[in-house]
Amino acid sequence: MKFFIIIQARMTSTRLPGKVMLPLCGKTVLEVMLERLSLFQDNIIIATTNDGTQAPITQLCQQLNIKYFEGDTDNVLSRYYEAAIASGAQEEDLIVRCTSDCPIIDPEVVSSLISFYKTNSFDYALASSGSGFPRGLNAEIFSFALLKEAFLSATKDYEKEHVTPYFYDTCKDKFKLGYLKSEIDASKYRITLDEQDDYRVIQEIYDKFNCETTFNYKDLISMLDENPYIYEINKHVEQKKLKG
C-alpha cells in the first residue's frame, strides 16, 4: 500500500489571484509549503490546472523535482483522480488531500492523520477546524478506490470543485468518517490564505519564527497565544461557503 499527497494549486484564485506564488521568506508560498512537507517529497504530486496560467507552478515543480499533473481548472475532483491515475495509484493506495493555500501545514499532523487512518476502520478521515485544528492545517485521507467512486458518481458542481463533499455530505450515511482530534482547541485561528489579511497573518507567523520552516504545531500555537494581535488581523475573514 502506497500513499500519495496530492496538493491542488492554481493561479486563478478569485479572491487573491496568484496567491500560491506570492513571496514568503525569499521564496514563494507554495515553495515554503513544500519545504514544510519535505519529509514526503517523493509522495507529493502537485495537481495544477491546464488552462494556460499554470506555468509558474509547473516551473517551480521542475526546479524542485516535484511531480505534477495538469488537469481541469474547475473540476478538481477529476484533477485529483487523473493525477492519481497518472502516478500509478492502485485501488488500495491512499490519497492525502492538501491545498496549496496552507503554507503552515504541519508534517507531524499529516503523519498522525495517516497513522490514525491506517489503525482504524474509517473510509475517510480528516484533521480540520471541526476537530480543533486551526483552519490552514487541514488534511484529508481516503483510499484511491473511494476517490474513484466519487469521480464516477459525483454529479453536483460543488462536489467536483471541492473534491470530498461526496464523502462527508452526499453519502455521509454510507461512509465511516473519522476526525483526528487536536490536543488543544486552536480552531479559532485562521492561517489559510484566501485574502490579503490572511497573507499578512502568514507573513507575521514566519517573521516570528525568523523564516524557519521546522517549527511544530505546539510551537505555532504557543506563539499565536503569546501574540494575540496576529489573530485580530484576519478574524473577520469568512471561509467561502460550499454551494450545494
Phi-psi region of 68 (alpha: psi -120 to 50; beta: other; left: phi over 0): beta
Fold of 3-234: Spore Coat Polysaccharide Biosynthesis Protein SpsA; Chain A (3.90.550)
Q: Give me the pLDDT at residue 243, please.
A: 54
Q: Give me the pLDDT at residue 77, please.
A: 97
3-state secondary structure of 16: coil
CA 134, 92, 70, 170 torsion-angle sign: negative
Buried b or exposed e, range 126-160, using 16+ CB within 10 angstroms:
bbbbebbbbbbbbbbbbbbebbbbbbeebeeeebb
The strand pair at 44-49 and 67-71 is best described as parallel
Q: Give me the pLDDT at residue 194, please.
A: 96
- Which DSSP string do the residues of 146-204 spell out, in sequence order? HHHHHHHH--SHHHHHHSSHIIIIITTTTS-EEEPPPSS--TT-B-S-SSHHHHHHHHH
> How do residues 69-80 score in pLDDT, each as one tens digit?
999 999 999 999
* Domain ranges for the chain: 3-234
Please list the pLDDT of the chain residue by residue as tens digits (244 residues).
899 999 999 999 989 999 999 999 999 999 999 999 999 999 999 999 999 999 999 999 999 999 999 999 999 999 999 999 999 999 999 999 999 999 999 999 999 999 999 999 999 999 999 999 999 999 999 999 999 999 999 999 999 999 999 999 888 899 999 999 999 999 999 999 999 999 999 999 999 999 999 999 999 999 999 999 999 999 999 887 665 4
Element (H, E) at 225: helix 217-226
Q: Give me the pLDDT at residue 172, please.
A: 84
Instruction: Give pTM, 2 decimals.
Output: 0.96
3-state secondary structure of 34: helix
Q: Give me the pLDDT at residue 239, please.
A: 80
